[in-house]
Chain A
C-alpha cells in the first residue's frame, strides 16, 4: 500500500495545518473537529524518521553516528538543532 506524505504546512500560506477529520478504517466512523497536530508530526518526515531512529538506537549518539557514518560532534549538533527546533514549536509546553 502506498503511504502518502502527511502534509504539515498549508500550501497556500505555509501556516501549520490542523486535523479537521479522523476516520476509523474498519467501520468508517468519522470524527470531526479542530485538532492541532502533535509537535512531532509538525516536523518534516526526515526529522521524524531521525527521531525514531534515535529512539530505536537507545538514544545513543555514538551508535547513531556510527550507523549514519558521521562523526559524534556532527550527530550531536544535529540533535541539538532538532531540540532547539522542537523547543520553538512548543514555547508554552
Chain B
C-alpha cells in the first residue's frame, strides 16, 4: 500500500499513469474552483475571494508544462532513454496530494484567516485564540501533502531516468527549482 501511494511508477507506467494524471488534473481544477484556490506556481497555492472555473485549470496546465519541461530536460541529460510519457504522467499524478490542500479552505476559512492576520498586523493578541490555532493546525496539513507531492515526483523521476548518483539527485532538485522559477515568471507575465 505504501509503495502504491508513494511509488506507483514501479508497477504502472505510460498510459495508465497518464490517465490517472489527467483525472488528478481535472480533480485539482475542480477543487481549486470549489474552494477558491489559485495554483500560482509549481510549489504554490493561494486562496482568493473568488476563483472562476477556468483559472485553477489554466494554472495547473502552466505548472504541469513548467515541471514537465524542466524535469524532462534533466531526465534526458541523465539518461537518453527517458520517455516523455513517463515524465508527463509523473508530473500530472504527483500533483494530486497538493490539490487536496484546497480542502483547508472549506467555507473560505483559510482565506478569511489570512485577511484577519493582515488586518490585525502586529496586534495578534487581539485575535481570538481559536482563530489562530485552527488555521495553524490546518496549515500543518500542508506539510505532509507537500512531502507526498515531492516524494511522488522524485520516485517517478527516479524510475523514468534510472537515477542513481548524488549528481543525479542534485539535477532533480535543480530542475524542480528551475520549474518553480519558470512558473513564477509565467504567472507574473500573464497576470501582472
Give the B-binding residues of A (Cβ under 8 A): 65, 69-74, 76-77, 80-81
Tell me whether chain A's interface is mostly helix, strand or loop, or mixed: helix
| B11 x A73 contact (CB < 8 A) | no
Closest CB in chain B relative to A88 CB, distance in Å? 14
A81 — which chain B residues lie within 8 A by C-beta?
162
Q: Contact size class for B?
A: 10 to 19
- Distance A80 CA – B10 CA, assembled complex (angstroms): 15
A80 — which chain B residues lie within 8 A by C-beta?
81, 162
Between-chain CB contacts (< 8 Å), 12 pairs = A70-B10, A71-B9, A71-B12, A72-B14, A74-B9, A74-B13, A76-B81, A76-B162, A77-B159, A77-B162, A80-B162, A81-B162
| B81 x A74 contact (CB < 8 A) | no
- Distance A65 CA – B115 CA, assembled complex (angstroms): 53
A71 — which chain B residues lie within 8 A by C-beta?
9-14, 159
- Distance A70 CA – B14 CA, assembled complex (angstroms): 12
Contact A69-B11, Cβ < 8 Å, known A76-B81, A80-B81: yes
4 closest Cβ pairs, A-B complex = A71-B13, A77-B162, A72-B13, A73-B159
Q: Which B1-33 residues sit within 8 Å CB-CB of chain A?
A: 9-14
- Distance A81 CA – B81 CA, assembled complex (angstroms): 13
A73 — which chain B residues lie within 8 A by C-beta?
9, 13, 83, 86, 159-160, 162
A69 — which chain B residues lie within 8 A by C-beta?
11
Q: Which B109-161 residues sit within 8 Å CB-CB of chain A?
A: 159-160
Closest CB in chain B relative to A87 CB, distance in Å? 15
- Distance A69 CA – B8 CA, assembled complex (angstroms): 12
A70 — which chain B residues lie within 8 A by C-beta?
10-11
Closest CB in chain B relative to A24 CB, distance in Å? 45
- Distance A76 CA – B81 CA, assembled complex (angstroms): 9
Closest CB in chain B relative to A66 CB, distance in Å? 11
Closest CB in chain A relative to B152 CB, distance in Å? 14
Nearest CB in chain B to that of A65: its residue? B13
Most chain B beta carbons < 10 A, residue from A70, A71, A76: A71
Contact A74-B10, Cβ < 8 Å, known A80-B81, A80-B162: yes
